Amino acid sequence: MRTRQLGATGIEVSAYCLGTMMFGANGNRDHDACVRMVHRALDAGVNFVDTADVYGYSETEEIVGKALKGRRDDVVLASKFNGPMGEGPNRRGSSRRWIMRAVEGSLRRLGTDHLDLYQIHHPDPDTDIEETLSALTDLVRDGKVRAIGSSNLPAPQIVEAQWVSQQRGLHRLRTEQPTYSILNRGIEREVLPVCRRYGMGVLVWGPLSMGLLTGRYRKGTAPPDNARMRWVPRHLTDEGKLDAVERLLPVAEEAGMSLTHLAMAFAATHPDVTSVIIGPRTEEQLADLLAGAPRTLDDEILDRIDAIVPPGTDLGPLDISYTPPSLTTPSSRRRPPDSRAAA
């Protein structure tokens, strides 16, 4: 397994990061099987594990904690906060009040006294970024967190966070975790150049576009009736994306690899991508992903991919991607009726 520097942190991480969202209630309910997957990944050279408190509403972190007993020192362990962890309005978000509670819960479930990387799971438009960075800075100074990062943060907000850190003497965001795949290349426009500018490590999620880039979902065929289809049905039946998949399949075949391996190699090829998150649900899926780790793509293959999905192009958002309130809340784009009449 190849390793790379995680931005300017001095931390060395594997080119593949084991994502654990499918461990527990979200996917594989067999805890022993999930523990075996963690051990198999570590034995294959993966030293980077990413989780979040909201995955399985604590269950996933407990599984990861069990799997890392006796092996914690060999692992770069990352978790995230921000998602809802209960009914109360203050059991979520990026306030100091919640961060200080959330980190203690994650540390307890993971059975460790520190996190190597603690990430803001989603932007929080209701919380001043200085409030968040101040709390995270205290966690670093207390030794509970080694480095801090963000996930799904738009490029302007990354720049704002870096500026606030500089002006207020706070710890900087050292990593960003955006979605990236052949079908979702939007981060190539601004997010990746901004991360390069600030020396941030980048760990990307969704390299298989939630399963579309495995070749299991084909145009003109009935989609399988499974939990994933009920979870993200629009994404997996998007005609534009399915058209691209049909054009990518012969590219993979002529390159002598599966579409899955082509997609993973594509994500790992970008020079600004530090680590690609794999999210297996089964041991068989993990074995296949690990088998493709040595794969690389030459310029001819990359040029053919560019012709199908041009650089910087998103063929449509993932159904679970972050969408800012400016797009989801109509009132943020429309003047009140009375003011329209006055104008």
The residue whose two tokens read 């966690």 is 139
pLDDT of residue 256: 97
Q: Which residues span the domain enclosing 25?
A: 3-342
Q: What is the pTM of this model?
A: 0.92
pLDDT of residue 317: 74
pLDDT digit string, tens, across residues 211-260: 999 998 888 777 666 545 455 667 778 889 999 999 999 999 999 999 99
pLDDT digit string, tens, across residues 48-88: 999 999 999 999 999 999 999 999 999 999 999 999 999 88
Give CA separation, 146 vs 138, 251, 262, 270, 277, in Å. 11, 42, 34, 26, 20
Closest to 81 (Cα-Cα) out of 67, 101, 110: 101
pLDDT of residue 327: 80
Instruction: Tell whether the torsion through CA atoms of 332, 157, 79 and 202 is positive or negative.
Output: positive
Q: How far apart are CA 333 and CA 161, in angstroms?
A: 25
Burial 35-58 (b: 16+ CB within 10 A, else e): bebbebbbebebbbbbbbbbbbeb
Q: Helix, strand, coil proportions of the chain in percent (round to 5)? A: 45, 15, 40
- Which stretches of the chain drop beneath a pLDDT of 50? 227, 229
pLDDT of residue 233: 62
pLDDT of residue 276: 98
Q: How many domains does the chain have?
A: 1
List the catalytic residues: 55
Q: What is the CATH number of the domain that holds 65?
A: 3.20.20.100
Q: Six-digit token pair at 327? A: 């797009």
Within 8 A by CB and 6+ apart from 298, the residues are none
Helical pair 239-254 and 259-269, crossing angle rounded to 10 deg: 90
pLDDT of residue 254: 96
